[in-house]
């Protein structure tokens, strides 16, 4: 018991929690993107996939609860680490000493806050149907005769609105920035790669951030430009 409390109190314990919970979300974002890219294969494919997820029933709820717990733990631990860092250095440096740090690393708190805003909006739009109920109420008949929620129509109608698709693209810039720094920190914290691999870590994290950016932006962009209808 004491050991586990000591673990949560230590800086390295907190960094490990940040790394694991961040990795859970990174894994989700990759899987979610791969699933969503089926929008390019038409309504039958995307709606069948959405129905498959819904039919997971209790398993889906286990995954959702896991994501919520990971999210809350990630944000709370980030705040605790920030407070610890500030109290360890009560007087801020006269000169900004982070010249060496990348834009991504200096803006982690801001990009994280913007992602939280995105997530609240995204869930209100696509999962709860609050922001645009007219996008949410369509039904689709699958080839096997099942009547399902038309997730394809919801995504197309959503991204045909320039304000929505451009906002998504802007949020994806912050997602890519957050990921590109976070993945590097995570690999170092978990000791997966030694410090001598720093340049390689940086390249891998930037590459993965870029991949998520391109994949997620391809959907709003091609729908907005009318390539996918
Ligand atoms: C262009 C990019 C994206 C598209 C097209 C998209 C699409 C969707 C759709 C259609 C749903 C509702 C699924 C359904 O009701 O069957 C959904 C849910 C969700 N999305 Fe996204 N999404 C995108 C990006 C993201 C990102 C970047 C995140 C996280 C940072 C995210 C997190 C979620 C979560 C947590 C849910 C709720 C899942 C659930 O209810 O089980 N999405 N998304």
Q: For a pocket test of ligand 1, which of 58, 69, 122 has the largest count of ligand atoms closer than 8 A to its C-beta?
A: 122
C-alpha 72 to ligand 1 mean position (Å): 18
Residue 94 in any domain: the answer is: no
Residue 219 in any domain: the answer is: yes
Local structure of 203: helix, strand or coil: helix
Cβ atoms 140, 152 nearer than 8 A: yes
Q: What is the pLDDT of residues 2-57, one digit of tens each?
A: 557 777 778 888 889 999 999 999 999 999 999 999 999 999 999 999 999 999 99
Q: Which atom of ligand 1 is nearest to the CA of 115?
A: 30
Q: What is the pLDDT of residues 49-95, one digit of tens each?
A: 999 999 999 999 999 999 999 999 999 998 898 888 777 655 554 44
Tell me, what CATH number does 147's domain have? 1.20.1300.10
Please tell me the residue having the least CA distance from ligand 1 atom 5. 36
Residue 95 in any domain: the answer is: no
Confidence at residue 193, expressed as pLDDT on a 0 to 100 scale: 65
- pLDDT: which is higher, 206 or 105: 206
Name which of 97-111, 114-128, 205-219 the model is least confident about: 97-111
Residue 5 in any domain: the answer is: no
Task: Give the whole-angstrom CA distance, residue 76 versus residue 4.
Answer: 17
Residue 122 in any domain: the answer is: yes
Confidence at residue 97, expressed as pLDDT on a 0 to 100 scale: 47
Mean pLDDT of all residues in 118-123: 95
Q: What is the pLDDT of residues 174-205, one digit of tens each?
A: 999 888 888 878 877 777 666 667 778 888 88
Question: What pairs with residue 149 in β-bridges?
Answer: 139
Would you state the structure tokens that stand for residue 10, as one six-digit string? Answer: 């230590």
Number of structural domains the chain divides into: 1
Range of the domain at 25: 10-89+104-224
Residue 98 in any domain: the answer is: no
Closest C-alpha among 67, 65, 38 to residue 52: 38
């Amino acid at each position: 018991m004491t050991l586990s409390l000591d673990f949560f109190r230590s800086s390295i314990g907190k960094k490990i929690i940040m790394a694991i919970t961040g990795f859970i979300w990174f894994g989700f974002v990759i899987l979610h993107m791969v699933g969503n890219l089926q929008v390019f294969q038409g309504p039958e494919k995307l709606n069948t996939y959405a129905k498959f997820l819904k039919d997971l029933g209790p398993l889906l709820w286990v995954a959702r609860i896991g994501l919520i717990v990971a999210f809350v733990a990630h944000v709370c631990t980030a705040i605790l680490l920030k407070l610890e860092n500030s109290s360890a250095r009560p007087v801020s440096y006269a000169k900004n000493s982070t010249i060496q740090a990348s834009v991504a690393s200096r803006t982690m708190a801001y990009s994280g806050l913007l992602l939280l805003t995105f997530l609240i909006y995204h869930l209100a739009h696509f999962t709860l149907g609050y922001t645009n109920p007219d996008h949410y109420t369509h039904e689709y008949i699958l080839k096997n005769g099942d009547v399902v929620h038309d997730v394809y129509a919801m995504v197309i109608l959503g991204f045909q609105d320039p304000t929505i698709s451009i906002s998504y693209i802007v949020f994806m810039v912050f997602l890519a920035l957050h990921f590109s720094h976070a993945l590097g920190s995570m690999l170092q914290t978990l000791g997966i790669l030694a410090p001598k691999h720093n340049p390689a870590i940086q390249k891998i994290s930037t590459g993965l951030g870029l991949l998520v950016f391109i994949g997620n932006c391809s959907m709003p962009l091609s729908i907005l430009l009318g390539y996918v209808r």
